[in-house]
Structure 1
Amino acid sequence: MTELAKTFDPAAIEARWYSHWEDKGLFRPERGEAEPFTIVIPPPNVTGSLHIGHALDDTLQDVLVRHARLQGKDALWVVGTDHAGIATQMVVERQMNARGEKRTDYSRDAFIDKVWEWKAESGGTITRQLRRLGASCDWANERFTMDEGFSKAVLKVFVELYKQGLLYRDKRLVNWDPGLKTAISDLEVETKEVGGKFWHLSYPLEDGSGTISVATTRPETMLADMAVAVNPEDDRYKALIGKNVRLPITGRLIPIVADEHADPELGSGAVKITPGHDFNDFEVGKRAGFKPAEMLNMLDADAHVIQTSDGLIPEEFLGLERFEARTRVVARLEEQGILGKVEDRVIQTPFGDRSGAVIEPWLTDQWYVDAETLAKPALEAVRSGAIKVVPESWKKTYYNWLENIQPWCVSRQLWWGHQIPAWYDEDGNVYVAEDEAEAQLQAGNRKITRDSDVLDTWFSSALWPFGTLGWPEKTEKLERHYPNDVLISGFDILFFWDARMIMQGMHFMEEVPFKTLYLHGLVRAADGSKMSKSKGNTVDPLGLIDKYGADALRFTLTAMESQGRDIKLDEKRVEGYRNFATKLWNASRFCQANGIGASKTLRAPDAAAPVNRWIIAETISTVQKLDLALADLRYDEAANTIYHFTWSRFCDWYLELIKGQIDDETRAVAGWVLDQILVMLHPFMPFITEELWHAMGARENEIIVAHWPLADTHALDANAAQEIDWLIRLVSEIRAARSELNVPPGAKLALHVRDASAVTGERLDRQATALGRLARVETISLDPAPAGGAAQVVVDEATYVLPLEGVIDLTAERARLTKGIEAAAKERDSLGKRLENPAFVEKAKPEAVEKARADHAEKSAEAERLSAALARLG
């Protein structure tokens, strides 16, 4: 036994134990024959650092992994980082810019070498921070989405999907980010409300018979208009369908076409169609007979105006930035008398979530995955229950997205990433292969050039559950650990990552990638607002670890994680759970001081004393509740179960009940219970539990690989449990009465009992010593209490009377209680009237209403408590 320091200091133990576990390979002990348990970490960006969302996500995973490891399973937590194409390239380019360099100063290969250099020097920040959190990952087999084995899987998937006709090259509109100069997905577009205008334009008919009015929020795109659409049922325009309009500025003749996209109820009912620069117009254009290759493009990659294929844009507009072009176009239209009214309008405007640039729909050749086909098995996997979604409320969102899924654009115009394995000859023919040698064989003696684009980062990370296990090779690890057991993810990447893993897993492994998908909420500020740097309300998990320890932060996040709800993180909760750790530390010191040490047995020791039989039963009940909560992924329930048992049952009651009567039986039981607490608490608070585990005595193994407690129902003793529960309730009632009536703490009172059953009488005899010490009771009598003021409490069938004559000033006490009742009732009623006022509830800030309700409940309880105390005086 190692004597514990008087003060619990998390910093002194955390780094020491983590390196010990990792150095000894305890995160993945050799258990080849054991039942496998597998979870993969959502690979954080290699550019990243630990934020509070990571801390939540990874704590929840670690709780499950440590629990499975303690259960004796072959627990594998796959860890690694994502190459994060856009983010990483941006970081390296910023560093270059700071040195007065730019990416294009280097060849592609030289730039990629620079990125690898950056990764070697700075790319391990987040993995070091995960260690500080206590994440017990399989670091010995850490993966990276650009490592050799994983890259092989990515190339294999691309080629196979291409051969199967599920991946193809097509000219379509994409979300083009002019800041990053790459296509991005719909999921990477952030739509914001921006003040703008609605310009009404009058396009002249070719035959000079009149005009047709259209309205637009982007007048510059009229330089590439190809049609005007009207609804076929709109009587105003039926006669115009098939006629031509001569566009202002360019002079281009464009047809008036019939299409249901034009809503007769909106604006003039006629819509200008720019299929090369608007997603809706693209579809209208195709229905009107325009092939994508024929659609006009008026912008380059920087969103500057270029000449269209028909050469009709006047030279004065060429080279203008798109918003500068807008100003110039509006001025020309006004000069020509084409511009009608201009309305102020709030515009839903798309922005790139990384660059902050306004996104431009842009017509380019890109690579697409037939997501609709891949989505069908993924939908069935959830519908059939092959994948359990927790909480179930997310199923509807999942179904809706997959049922309406669009082709997935997987090419990006970057240098860093998995370069697309496609080569082109001089005639534009494409050859897809896993390497250049195979592509050259396909091309014969023709000269070929590789596609310069790279794959969307999410394309590669979609292979994470099987690519990290050795696929496409049929490895033992793959056969053993696929499918994974659980995937834990924030709901915000349900489509980015989770759904795509299901799609690729079902297609290539013909089996679900994981059996359960757990989606947690966001971590919000204490007032419920979303955290953001601009608001200054973000929380640094590393700062909280420095201040309170990793165990306290982990326990806070676990205890507050309730299915389907966001977490309102208050630092006071973290401080509270650090106090919980201190409570456990001090309880262990008490045990040491009384000769209580490490247990020698996994099963509960034999016990005769009711208090020992009670705590054994309480321990077993806690194991049962904890197992059930973890099986159901009820994190808050699991944390609160072990918290309540440790703090209330063990520290506050059991250790108090055994004081002064610690014999060999009690030492054996107390040591066993403390061991069970440490093991049950270990998944939540790994550091303090490992430290205490060794401090309490010699051990064969570290707690990280100890045995999970047995839920041994044979050790349950209903009679002992009932007796100690009775004792706790009686002591609690007496203590409450003493406190409410201002009885001096040191005063010892006589206790008179009436209407006691035979069972209660026997309990009073057995527990007289405990009652005397815990409730400050001097004598216990079944005789009637003397006349006069007394406190009375009722527990079960018996009434317990505590005479107070000469102990307190009864008259003054009655007056104090009466005054307190009146004051509490007055505040309660005032708050009640405010809450009954609809104007207050509807107009006041939500936090003000919430506070008023909390205050009302508090004052109501206070009035009731004081009234009960007054009634006790008789």
Structure 2
Amino acid sequence: MLDKTYQPQDVETRLYKAWEEGGCFRHGIKSGKPYTIALPPPNVTGSLHMGHALNHTLQDVLIRYQRMRGRDALWQPGTDHAGIATQMVVERQLAEKQQNRHDMGREKFVERVWQWKAESGGMITGQQRRLGESCDWRRERFTMDEGLSAAVRKVFVELYREGLIYKDKRLVNWDPKLLTAISDLEVEQHEIKSHLWYFKYPVEGMPDTYITVATTRPETMLGDTGVAVHPEDDRYKHLIGRYAILPLVGRRIPIVGDEYSDPEKGSGAVKITPAHDFNDFEVGKRHNLEMINIFDRHAHLNENVPEKYRGMERFKARKQIVADMEELGLVEKIEPNTHMVPHGDRSQVVIEPWLTEQWYVNAAVLAKPAIEAVEKGEIQFVPKNWEKTYFEWMRNIQPWCISRQLWWGHQIPAWYGPDGKVFVAYDEAEAQAEADKHYGKRVELTRDEDVLDTWFSSALWPFSTLGWPEETDLLKSHYPTDVLVTGFDIIFFWVARMIMMGLHFTKKVPFHTVYIHALVRDEKGQKMSKSKGNVMDPLDIIGKYGADALRFTLSIFAAQGRDVKMSEQRVEGYRNFATKLWNAARFAEMNGCALSADFDPAKVQGTVNKWILGRLAQAARDVEAALEAYKFNEAAGALYHFTWGTFCDWYLELIKPALNGDDAALKTETQATCAYALKQLIHLLHPFMPFVTEELWDKLFGKPGGFLMLRDWPNDGARPEDPAAAAEIDWLIRLIDGVRAARSALNVPAAAKIAMIANGANAETAARLQRHADPIKRLARIETISADQAAPQGSARIVVDEATFVLPLADVIDIAKERSRLTKEREKAEAEIAKLDAKLNDATFVARAPEHVVEEQRERRAAQAALVAKLADALQQLG
């Protein structure tokens, strides 16, 4: 006998252990067509958050579904070394002990990071198990394990030998706190209130003549090597080709004509600092201007500036330079100015464009086939609108800076000879042999100290985890993978780079579908953050409500293109859903509902039993169609409505007379049908709620059938409905629902039994009324049913098909009072709608209010509109 209540905390750990020990997650356990998902590897920097919970839940739904469909399902797990993020964590830990990596040395520091990775990685996989993830844990990989490291070396060496990896001196986003280059994608723009300084530069050979430049960064003027004006700007045409004298430095700098200068902006003349501004860098290349780097790696001024400023921190230098220019009378004016300033997304310090030599990938060449693959439909984005985002970035792709000045990561396989010549090779021995041959003697080599951008190794994830560069059987059978489930924020970081690398090295796309899910926000639609105090920890939620409740909540709100609004109340609601399912199973068990070996759904005779089997078949079709289209919310919604409404609230109520009646044949059929429907329902729910369904299966149907998760998917979707049974029971439900709604709207006391008159009923409706008099009376609280009588004064009316059902209520409620109450409530709701419309029609409010506030107002309006419709219907029922 099932326990009275379902306790997920007592079940989930036990079941997961049994699944894992039973080998249920292994690929090859089913013999059908391979189905593969490569889990986006979580960073080994902490714990899983609610975004991970959504991402992993949706993947597990797909894997469990396809496994039950007979596919040879492989969910490839693993973790990412997350270069910058992980190094920062460990450096912070060292700082707390007054230590730093430089004192430790590279080798000892890397050992320390490996120790921390072992602790953190184990914590993450433990959390994944708590969520119920059915990964093939035997195949767990790490982006710096030996197999993946070999893949990284091969890719780097081959791309270098093809001329697609090269060294170049270019501007990079330099993080002066982390002391490394970072990518454009790791830069955040912050709005800063500052100033616009107008500096006067003397023009050579023209006494008392100045050209005024406007700048937001006075400290970079010491690196100016030119002034640009628009070639058609009449104010400055006569100065093009002349020279200005750079104040404080004395350097002659040319005045050039370039369309980059905007005559409408600032003074119309722009100082050009090619080594410290990305736009200036391009202007400098066009006009062959000198590139002078004035900062060191800490963003302090270096030896290329006058001695007075050397060693100064950049923002202190700014104040000093402005003061010195004012003293010389060369500041024309200073204006307040609010503008965007780039910051490192991890360090949160101002990023410095810095001229330095780095390693680059020629991304433009790799992007061409990756663009074509999506254009031809070989890879499809779901929702499709994300393809536009992908194309915009890929068609304007810049060289990819892949070197990072870190110690944790894949060290670049490049060695330098005595004269700086580079030797790229698979290992030091190969580099040494190449160098000895080049120099004609044995020479000492020095290895490049930089490591690769984390996304370089992650870009190989779909095929490197399957054994590439070896031609493994698994690579042959399970690559390309099927679907990538990920967030929109890493389309550029990761998705695009996997497509580029996959096509280049395997000549195949890495996956055929990219499903992009939205963000998980709080109940008001705000982004979760520690500073707002609205972060929900998935492990806390699981501990309180169970993994199934969290999984189902995330699934049913995962509508394409819409953020998931999370709240504890919602999770609690779906915990109640699991309880509802459990109670339904207990009801069935207590009423002797069991399956006989010879039960054949096609031979069922009872109308209600035919109806539930038809509805079950429709639910199965809806779930299958929704999952094939990655509409997780629709699949979960179909199961929720069938379970709670159709099966529990209607079917179990409608079969009580048969279960308690004297018709033995009908009772036996009903018991078997109920057990069959429950069994199939548990099957359908399993991908979403694996724990409660597995427990019910084990207790009710499992022996000797084995684990539910390895059973074949039900084929009920192929069974046609019985149209006559469907029409009859749907009519019955509409009638009972209509009476219940009228009773609720008109405040009829719950205990009051009332009369019902059926007017205008045809022969079929009359027969139905007779057949179903018992459930109508029992479920709608009806005392008597009569036909074709005049409606008494003070009656409610319900129309179902051709018949009007009259509920005389004059002796039960005060009709005038109810009409007055309903009218007032409707007027109040209409007034509220008018207020909300005034706000929502105000363009200023919609533009300035936070997005979640606007959305909240829209939701309130929709709720009020629904209330008005309900109240209007109630008033109409009263006549």
Q: Same fold (TM over 0.5)?
A: yes
Of 727, 735, 738, 1:730 maps to: 735
* Aligned partner of residue 514 in structure 1, secondary structure: coil
TM-score scaled by length of structure 1: 0.95
The CA deviation string for residues 550-590 of structure 1, in whole angstroms up to 9 with x for no partner, is: 11111111111111111222322111111111111111111
Deviation, structure 1 residue 777 = 4.1
Aligned residue runs from structure 1 range 755-774, under 5 A = 755-774=760-779
Aligned to 1:646: 643
Are residue 356 (structure 1) and residue 356 (structure 2) matched? no
Aligned residue runs from structure 1 range 563-712, under 5 A = 563-597=560-594, 604=601, 606-662=603-659, 663-699=667-703, 700-712=705-717
Are residue 425 (structure 1) and residue 417 (structure 2) matched? yes
Aligned to 1:850: 858
- Whole-Å separation in 2 of the counterparts to 1:851 and 1:511: 45
Aligned to 1:861: 869
Are residue 386 (structure 1) and residue 378 (structure 2) matched? yes
Query: Does the 8 A contact of 2:432 with 2:445 survive in 1?
Result: yes
**Closer/same/farther in 2, CA of residues 147 and 855 from structure 1, 3 Å limit:** closer
* Aligned partner of residue 357 in structure 2, secondary structure: strand
Query: Structure 2: which amino acid aligns with 1:156?
Result: K
Query: Does the 8 A contact of 1:602 with 1:710 survive in 2?
Result: no
Of 28, 35, 38, 1:37 maps to: 35
Aligned to 1:798: 803
- Whole-Å separation in 2 of the counterparts to 1:745 and 1:212: 87
Of 64, 67, 70, 2:65 maps to: 67
Deviation, structure 1 residue 748 = 4.8
**Closer/same/farther in 2, CA of residues 800 and 224 from structure 1, 3 Å limit:** closer
Query: Structure 2: which amino acid aligns with 1:404?
Result: N
Query: Does the 8 A contact of 1:831 with 1:852 survive in 2?
Result: no
Aligned to 1:51: 49
Query: Structure 2: which amino acid aligns with 1:103?
Result: R
Aligned to 2:815: 814
Deviation, structure 1 residue 378 = 0.8
Query: Does the 8 A contact of 2:43 with 2:79 survive in 1?
Result: yes
Aligned to 2:439: none
Query: Does the 8 A contact of 1:112 with 1:416 survive in 2?
Result: yes
Aligned to 1:192: 190
Deviation, structure 1 residue 783 = 6.2
* Aligned partner of residue 198 in structure 1, secondary structure: strand
Query: Does the 8 A contact of 1:275 with 1:282 survive in 2?
Result: yes
- Whole-Å separation in 1 of the counterparts to 2:60 and 2:185: 28
Query: Structure 2: which amino acid aligns with 1:299?
Result: F
Deviation, structure 1 residue 746 = 4.8
**Closer/same/farther in 2, CA of residues 413 and 602 from structure 1, 3 Å limit:** farther
Of 304, 317, 331, 1:325 maps to: 317
* Aligned partner of residue 661 in structure 1, secondary structure: helix
Query: Structure 2: which amino acid aligns with 1:823?
Result: K
- Whole-Å separation in 2 of the counterparts to 1:743 and 1:837: 36
Query: Structure 2: which amino acid aligns with 1:669?
Result: T
Query: Structure 2: which amino acid aligns with 1:435?
Result: D
**Closer/same/farther in 2, CA of residues 770 and 225 from structure 1, 3 Å limit:** same
* Aligned partner of residue 349 in structure 2, secondary structure: coil
* Aligned partner of residue 492 in structure 2, secondary structure: helix
Deviation, structure 1 residue 599 = 7.1
- Whole-Å separation in 2 of the counterparts to 1:20 and 1:460: 34
Aligned to 1:512: 509
Query: Structure 1: which amino acid aligns with 2:869?
Result: A
- Whole-Å separation in 1 of the counterparts to 2:601 and 2:781: 32
Deviation, structure 1 residue 282 = 0.8
Query: Does the 8 A contact of 1:834 with 1:840 survive in 2?
Result: no
Aligned to 1:129: 127
**Closer/same/farther in 2, CA of residues 177 and 772 from structure 1, 3 Å limit:** same
- Whole-Å separation in 2 of the counterparts to 1:347 and 1:112: 40
Aligned residue runs from structure 1 range 183-582, under 5 A = 183-209=181-207, 210-290=209-289, 295-308=291-304, 313-444=305-436, 445-582=442-579
Query: Does the 8 A contact of 2:679 with 2:701 survive in 1?
Result: no
**Closer/same/farther in 2, CA of residues 600 and 411 from structure 1, 3 Å limit:** farther
Query: Structure 1: which amino acid aligns with 2:368?
Result: K
- Whole-Å separation in 2 of the counterparts to 1:489 and 1:135: 16
**Closer/same/farther in 2, CA of residues 739 and 345 from structure 1, 3 Å limit:** closer
**Closer/same/farther in 2, CA of residues 794 and 232 from structure 1, 3 Å limit:** closer
- Whole-Å separation in 2 of the counterparts to 1:337 and 1:466: 64
- Whole-Å separation in 2 of the counterparts to 1:602 and 1:809: 50
- Whole-Å separation in 2 of the counterparts to 1:374 and 1:319: 42
* Aligned partner of residue 559 in structure 2, secondary structure: coil
Query: Does the 8 A contact of 1:523 with 1:569 survive in 2?
Result: yes
**Closer/same/farther in 2, CA of residues 605 and 22 from structure 1, 3 Å limit:** farther
* Aligned partner of residue 534 in structure 1, secondary structure: coil
Query: Structure 1: which amino acid aligns with 2:9?
Result: A
Deviation, structure 1 residue 342 = 1.0
Query: Structure 2: which amino acid aligns with 1:707?
Result: D
The CA deviation string for residues 246-276 of structure 1, in whole angstroms up to 9 with x for no partner, is: 2111111221222221222222222111111
**Closer/same/farther in 2, CA of residues 602 and 401 from structure 1, 3 Å limit:** farther
Are residue 716 (structure 1) and residue 712 (structure 2) matched? no
Query: Structure 1: which amino acid aligns with 2:761?
Result: A
Aligned to 2:662: none
* Aligned partner of residue 232 in structure 1, secondary structure: coil
- Whole-Å separation in 2 of the counterparts to 1:152 and 1:367: 19
Deviation, structure 1 residue 29 = 5.1
Aligned sequence identity (%): 56
- Whole-Å separation in 1 of the counterparts to 2:125 and 2:736: 51
Query: Does the 8 A contact of 1:824 with 1:862 survive in 2?
Result: no
- Whole-Å separation in 2 of the counterparts to 1:392 and 1:781: 57
CA RMSD of the aligned region, Å?
2.1
- Whole-Å separation in 1 of the counterparts to 2:859 and 2:362: 52
Are residue 828 (structure 1) and residue 829 (structure 2) matched? yes
**Closer/same/farther in 2, CA of residues 347 and 778 from structure 1, 3 Å limit:** closer
- Whole-Å separation in 1 of the counterparts to 2:829 and 2:176: 60
- Whole-Å separation in 1 of the counterparts to 2:306 and 2:760: 105
Bigger mean CA deviation after superposition, 46-55 or 236-245: 236-245
- Whole-Å separation in 1 of the counterparts to 2:118 and 2:718: 54
**Closer/same/farther in 2, CA of residues 665 and 836 from structure 1, 3 Å limit:** closer
**Closer/same/farther in 2, CA of residues 653 and 843 from structure 1, 3 Å limit:** same
Query: Structure 2: which amino acid aligns with 1:91?
Result: V
The CA deviation string for residues 606-659 of structure 1, in whole angstroms up to 9 with x for no partner, is: 310010010001000111111111111111111100100000000000000001
TM-score scaled by length of structure 2: 0.94
Bigger mean CA deviation after superposition, 184-193 or 236-245: 236-245
Query: Does the 8 A contact of 2:759 with 2:804 survive in 1?
Result: yes
Bigger mean CA deviation after superposition, 173-182 or 734-743: 734-743
* Aligned partner of residue 512 in structure 2, secondary structure: strand
Query: Does the 8 A contact of 1:741 with 1:869 survive in 2?
Result: no
Deviation, structure 1 residue 674 = 0.6
- Whole-Å separation in 2 of the counterparts to 1:228 and 1:7: 78
